[in-house]
Chains A and B, each alone.
Chain A
């Protein structure tokens, strides 16, 4: 397994050597198969099976790169930089695992939720789109080719627009939400591809490692510099970086519950990974302009997002919308971790990606379960429901606590690390003390909006005239799997921390370069 990396042509490869490709290929093939079979009954099982296979693959990949190093896979046997290369290292294995875990956990939840919210005749197409979206997200993360990132980005985006629009059978506003997202997403993707075009113009290559090699001494090249601006703004939009977040609340609120769960935990995270990859591996913070952009633009915007979006969330009267705004604030933490520019900060950012993905998926699942039973996610309609659906509400409580970052839940670790990271920087710039303080203060805002939710769920008098039963088992199990992991990772901290730290070290190590890849095969 260790040395599958660079294998001479014409050597027979075993199935296991193809894992980097299979990771993406399995869901990619599942999509047309679902459509071709066309059976509503088989759609869900096919989607679920391929998600589980993806999960297994991603775990194997993650385990094989956890000590550092990377696996490269050249598509069709064409050696990079000419051919398309898939390159798996600790960083993207970590994100791949997050995405495929969420994919596998959300699908059982989606089974009931989709039946409730989407017209029956659309089910097989819905799952086909879902698989495409899943493919796109995995592909964006797995590939080592910049243009390939764009292709997969578009695959995931286009299918996402369709998925969001499916909410229209329940609320017509899903259509405008999807439309807005389409416009914004397309502009973002266009910016990204313009940026790539500029890079291609300056270097003549699209392989990320090769790009990194060739621009390393071109820091003064204006084309290379403008490319950076376009790429970060384009990706920033996909990440929902403040103030490019305006599409997100609507899309998350009006999309079908299952779609929201899936997107909230994966889409912004995959985009964030691409952003990190470009900032640290293709470009590098050693470029003064990259460093300045992070410190002058990302850092303040991240802090503004942490406060502004949290305050909006605190005043919200709709559960799903509140969660959407809280996502924007949480993305702020992840961007802050990047902008702090040290190992601890990056580890915190990656860890937060993971923890927030879990907590947010859990909370959106809770919202979905409430929508299923009460028909709405407005606070007024879900008042006192906690007493009637204690198992669902219990899971929501754990998710909420992890969102705040209460010790004993996964969310605590990443925030703690983030504070540590800011304090590490404060020794040479005392302004970072304020940054650390702002993390603490904005967490207090999270306490407020989560507390409001608890108050609505538990302390308000329920409307006894409407009988409400507990959510179905297919929803409860995924919720409690996530709730369990939130607590488990809150106590058993080393596992995730080690992975995230290795991933951060990889990023900070810069690109491993094309020439290295020939010499340093595989993992060691």
Chain B
């Protein structure tokens, strides 16, 4: 039985399940397939040793469909886990499109992570794009249609850039193996940019905040797990130790903080914080040491869990109240206590409180940065950690479940959602308390103790001061918080300054951003109308010409041909 299972590439398991789903009636049978597939896949991966397992020949190329090594294994496992949790959370769903695309999407992401060559990678890369867009469209609103379209265009473009890069790379080196590359040729730059688009590098990131909050409640949970983490995996595989990634990652970790602070839609806040978390992973990839790559992999693992948990809790609230706007929520802990607790666990994990999963993974990356003596980067990341606490750790649970009472009294989330959140929350804590289980499946051997006195003290110091700052600012209400800044200790000035600088910087950034956006949109529109004028159905190019005019074109071409033939 197990032998037979080992023969099938994991991605195909998912695809065939997605196909079978079409023929099953809604209800238990479907849910069984939806939950069973990731479990079977995880068992397959777990029992399969390391190595290359499935080759097919395609157009003269040998494609590696199952390259299982320590780096791909951890990503595949967490993808399976995320697919399981996401589908459990979506137990109530009776929408064929979402169910099929969730499985196909997970399958593509897993297939991509297992691809040993860049052509198979490209197939799956586009697969994730196509499968996932239906999770956005499934909301079936005008807005989500256009959002999905924008998302699709960017994702497909990333694939097109990838295959162009691969073609050039093949031309340069004669190899399509997906392995460590060096930036330097056009080929590798194109591949790098394509990864960067999926990874939401700064300025390439808009699709993320645009699309994730626009998806369905359950769709967002699924979306948050795969695409960007796949990109992180691809970077870790292809560009580990590329120094520019350290700076890109730092910017990624920093800039979303400002946007997240002022954003009202909580799902969008989470999308920004997703961006910020990716920054940490990208920095880890950029450092490229064993410690750093371990940090990236484990961070991705933990991050998928707690980010899914946060999206689930906000999703559950949205499921019950119909909104995810901070200004319309508040005081929900009275009637949704369990959801509130799970949300707090997610918040504690993302903020890296000791005993929660974020703590044992983020410290790996930070230590790696410190170890390589990137002092400023380290400082920036610490600052970003505080930012995470502020917008994800405090803002999300606080404005949803506490703060002012919105007067809403929704029911507690349905059982399957609670179950999904419960399992995720349990995993967050479990990983936090027993880090060795996670450490044992990391790409490299771990010789790291997260629970040392200085780690705990340092982290608590940071967190508690940030909490304190938040409490003070919140209590002071409208008062401009700069006044208090003088009184705070010097080593947390950067955190104290958040509210004022944040507001100012974010205002300026938003304005610039909008301007650039308007500028680009207007250029695009004028280009489109010009093309429509010259190439549209009513233009001369598409009109039917009188025979005389056609004959002139023949005569002139003949003249040209004779000219070239005689005079060149």
Contact = CB atoms under 8 A, between A and B. Distances in A.
A243 B561 contact: no
Given A180-B550, A244-B553, A315-B537, A293 B561 contact: yes
A93 B565 CA distance: 31
B557 to A, nearest CB: 6
Nearest to B533: A315
A311 B535 CA distance: 6
Interface string A412-441: 010010011001000000000000110010
Interface in B125-166: 126, 145, 156, 160, 163-164
Interface in A236-287: 236-237, 243-244, 246-247, 249-250
A44 interface: no
B557 A243 contact: yes
A307 B537 CA distance: 16
A307 B350 CA distance: 49
Contacts of B544: 176, 180, 246, 249-250
B348 to A, nearest CB: 43
Contact of A187 (B59, B536, B554): B554
A226 interface: yes
B535 A229 contact: no
Contact of B547 (A183, A419, A443, A497): A183
B564 A420 contact: no
Nearest to B157: A444
Nearest to A436: B167
A244 B554 contact: yes
Interface residues of A, number: 59
Contacts of A297: 557, 560-561, 564
A428 to B, nearest CB: 14
A225 B565 contact: yes
Nearest to B186: A433
A315 B531 contact: yes
B318 interface: no
B59 A289 contact: no
Interface in A172-187: 176, 179-180, 183-184, 187
Interface string B107-126: 00000000000010011001
B402 to A, nearest CB: 42
A246 B542 contact: no
A130 to B, nearest CB: 25
A317 B542 CA distance: 11
A229 B561 contact: yes
A520 interface: no
Interface string A56-84: 00000000000000000000000000000
A292 interface: yes
Contacts of A246: 544-545, 549-550, 553
Contacts of A312: 535-536, 539, 541-542
B557 A247 contact: no
A315 B550 contact: no
Nearest to A491: B58
Contacts of A226: 562, 565
A444 B550 contact: no
Give the bracket for the number of chain B residues in contact with chain A. Answer: 35 or more
Nearest to B553: A243
Task: Kindly name the residue among B59, B119, B531, B536 whose own CB sees the greatest number of chain A CB atoms within 10 A.
Answer: B59
Contacts of B568: 288-289, 292, 296
B566 interface: yes
A423 B168 contact: yes
B551 interface: yes
Nearest to A227: B565
Contacts of A423: 167-168, 171
Contacts of B168: 423
A416 B170 CA distance: 12
Nearest to B59: A493
B184 interface: no
A447 B156 contact: yes
Contacts of A491: 58
B557 A311 contact: no
B167 A233 contact: no
Contacts of A191: 554, 558
Nearest to B568: A292
A459 B156 CA distance: 19
A119 interface: no
Nearest to B120: A407
A296 B60 contact: no
B388 to A, nearest CB: 38
Nearest to B161: A440
A497 B558 contact: no
Interface string A478-522: 000000000000010110010000000000000000000000000
Nearest to A447: B156
B564 A419 contact: no
Contact of A296 (B547, B562, B564): B564
B408 interface: no
Given A226-B562, A315-B536, A247 B550 contact: yes
A177 B565 CA distance: 33
A233 B558 contact: yes
Given A225-B565, A297-B560, A413-B59, A184 B550 contact: yes
A342 interface: no
A437 B541 CA distance: 24
B145 to A, nearest CB: 8
Contact of A229 (B122, B539, B547, B562): B562
A180 B58 contact: no
Interface in A283-340: 288-289, 292-293, 296-297, 308, 311-312, 314-318, 321, 325
Interface of B: 58-60, 119, 122-123, 126, 145, 156, 160, 163-164, 167-168, 171, 531-532, 535-537, 539, 541-542, 544-545, 547, 549-551, 553-554, 557-558, 560-562, 564-566, 568
Given A184-B550, A407-B122, 6 more contacts: A180-B544, A188-B554, A229-B558, A312-B536, A321-B537, A407-B126
Top 4 A-B residue pairs of the complex, sorted by shortest distance between their CB atoms: A229-B561, A311-B535, A292-B568, A493-B59
18 contacts: A180-B547, A187-B551, A225-B565, A226-B562, A229-B561, A246-B549, A249-B544, A292-B565, A296-B568, A297-B557, A312-B539, A312-B541, A318-B537, A413-B59, A423-B168, A491-B58, A493-B59, A494-B60
